[in-house]
Amino acid sequence: MRINTLNFPAKLGISGFLITVVLGALSAATLIGLLYSKHSSGFNIPEMDKVQAHYGESILISAMKGSMYEYVAEDGDIDVLTQWIADGAKDDEFFANEVMYIIEEDCQNCHSRNSQMSKAITSMPFSSYEDIVQYTDAGYSWTAMAKSAHIHLFGIAVFLIIVSLVMAFSSYVTWVKTLLISAGWVALWMDIASWWLAKFFSGFAYVIAAAGSVEIGAVCAMSGLCLLDMWFRLPAVVLESATED
C-alpha cells in the first residue's frame, strides 16, 4: 500500500496531521530562538552562551541570561552573581552588600511574597539568602531533568512514529525514506542525551542545537515530501518503482 493510493478522506486526514506537525515544529523553533536570544519577536538563531547557561549553569544565572534578561539592569550584574556562585555562594559580607543589592534591583519587583506586579512570582521569593541559595546549583537538578526528558521523549515519539510510518509507505526510493526516518530518531536521542551531558561539559550545548535542528528538519522534510506524494504526480526518478525496474 502507498499513501498516494489512499482515498480522498484518508489523504485529507493525514494531510491535516502532517501540516499540523510542520506548524508545531516551526513554532517550537520560533520559541527556542526567542528563549535563547535577546529578541522578543521573529525567528531567531539561538545564542550558544544562553543554551550553555540553561543546561550547565545555575537556575539563577540561566534565567538572568535567558528569559529574565530584559529585567537585568547591567550585564555586569550577571558577572557578579556568577563569580559569587563560583566562590561558593556564601552568606557573607559580599552577599549582603553586593549580591542582595543586585537581587533587589533586578529581581525583587517580581520575586517577592508581596509583589503586585502582573508577572509576579510570589511562590519564588528572593528575599533572603535561604531563598536565593537554592537556585545556585549548576544545571538542572536530576529530578527536574528526568521529568523534562521523559515528557519530551514520550511526547515527540508519539508524532514521530506516525510521521515515520507515513513516510515508510510513501513512494520515494528506500534510501531517502531510511535516511530521513533514521535522522529523526537519532537526532531525538542525541538531543535528550546531550541535555544530561551538558550538565558536566558545556560543549554539548552545540550538540543540542545541532540535533534539535536535524530533528525539526527531518520532521518537516518527511511531512512535506509525504504531502507532495499524496497530492501531486512526482518525477519517476525519485520514486521507488523506478529503482525496482
18-66 residue pLDDT tens? 999 999 999 999 999 988 887 888 888 888 887 887 787 788 888 888 7
Residue 244 C-alpha from the chain's centroid: 41
Average pLDDT, integer, range 78-84: 92
* Distance of alpha carbon 86 from alpha carbon 226, whole angstroms: 51
- Each residue's pLDDT tens digit, 213-236: 999 999 999 999 999 999 998 776
- Is residue 244 predicted with pLDDT exceeding 50? no
Q: Does residue 245 carry a pLDDT above 60?
A: no
Nearest 10 degrees: CA dihedral of 232, 184, 16, 231?
Answer: 10
Nearest to 60 by CA among 40, 89, 87, 32: 89
What integer pLDDT is reported at residue 102 of this predicted model?
Answer: 93
